[in-house]
Each structure stands twice: as C-alpha cells, then as structure tokens.
Structure 1
C-alpha cells in the first residue's frame, strides 16, 4: 500500500492542535514550553531536540506544512495559500473571504504559536521558514496528486 504523506500530515496537524493548550499562556517562556510540548506530543520533535534551535526550526517548518495539508481538505491544493491568508489576516486585522470557520481558526492559532516559538528560539527569518514550509507542502501536494509517495 502506498503511503500518503498528506493524510499523515493532516493527522499530525490534528494532533498538534489538540496538544496546544487553549488559551496559550501569555508569558513567553511558558508559551514556548507549551508549544514545544505540543510538538513533542504530535511527534514533530523528539525529547533530545527540545530547545535545539535548528531542530525547533525544522519542527516548526514541518508543523506549518502539516497545517497547510489540513487546510487542503477543504480545497485540495490550496491549503498553503489559505494558511498564508489566515496568518496575514490575523497580523493585519482583517477578515478573509470566505470567513474562516472554527477549524481554520484553530489552524491559524497553531501556526501563529509555531512562528512565535521559532522567533523565541532565534530561528532566523520567519518568512523564509514559512516559505520553506509552503514549498514542502506544494511538493507533497503535487506528488500526492500524481500518485507518487
């Protein structure tokens, strides 16, 4: 049986969202700990890599990619664009069209938490990190649609 990375990513994203406390702690250090714990619970990082900036950056990228795949369930292949739109809408204070539902807001909140963690760990350019995640999503979505694993 052929492995479906998109389906695996959606399961990982759902696990990440469920593992994040609601609301996230306001204190930055406590929030970073909570997000790292969610990464650990979801399997995006292992205990030996907690606090390791390159590992956190890689887990953040993989988490963002997984969240984009989760958004693909609504409109196949457009999850990355929707994730970017949700993040921009939150940052700039506008409501995207169509208005996000509760599940999309959970994805947005998880993505924001991941980006805050990456920033906390000094993971460099957050736009480059997000762009890398969206590139991986595009490759995996294209491979899934052509039947490659």
Structure 2
C-alpha cells in the first residue's frame, strides 16, 4: 500500500481517480457515482474552492487487499437494498439497510465467520432497527459480537 494512502484517511474524488486503483473508475463523476451507489463513508469539507466530499476508500479497493473465496459479493448490499425498497417502498430506509448489510459483511469477513441466510437476515433486521437510534461503529461491533 502506498505511503499516501496509509497516512491519509479520506480523499477527494479527483485524488481517488488519479490513484488509478484497480476496480475503480478513472473519472471524477464516476467516482462520485460509485461512492453513492456503494454508500461510501464521506465527510464534507468546506474550503476556498467550495464544498467537496472527502471519501474513505473501501478496503477491498486498496492494493494488497485479498477477498476471501467465500466472501459476499461487493454488490450484494446494493442488490438486497434495492429489492427491499422495491418490496416495502418508503417504509425502508435504503441507506440504513445498506449500512446494516455492510457492517455485517465487514464483521463476518473480519471474524472469518459465516451465517446461514436465515440467520444473516435476522441479524440484518436487528442491525437495521438498532441503527435507527445509534450508528456508533464501536457499539455496532459490540452488538454484532453478541448476535452473530
């Protein structure tokens, strides 16, 4: 991993495009589109040039990251969120649902665990409801240790 990525935690879309990371688009507009569709974490920075989003690049795009063979596909969270939104309409917050799925997927990868589809859906429901009132990453990880 390059020194600049290790030291810096968040990047503008133009910086990410200039990195030419495998699997990521090479244009600023497409970086913004990918970040939006995959619900990347970002901070809004205000500077002399105006307002811009500073994104945290997901680990699976960084050099040296290896996805385990049985890891969930990157697009699973987006596919499940779209299906749930289509089925339940405005009752579902697609951003919160996607966040719950991503938290669980990251936790399972980190812990090298697998859950049955039924159990995974139960944990996602618990996370989704929990995220309505709290989105602290540390507390979510504690909750996942208890239920997953």
Same fold (TM over 0.5): no
Whichever structure has more strand as a proportion of its residues is 2
Give the TM-score, by structure 1 length: 0.27
Give the TM-score, by structure 2 length: 0.27
Whichever structure has more helix as a proportion of its residues is 1
Q: Whose RCO is larger (CA < 8 A, sep 6+)?
A: 1
Larger Rg: 2
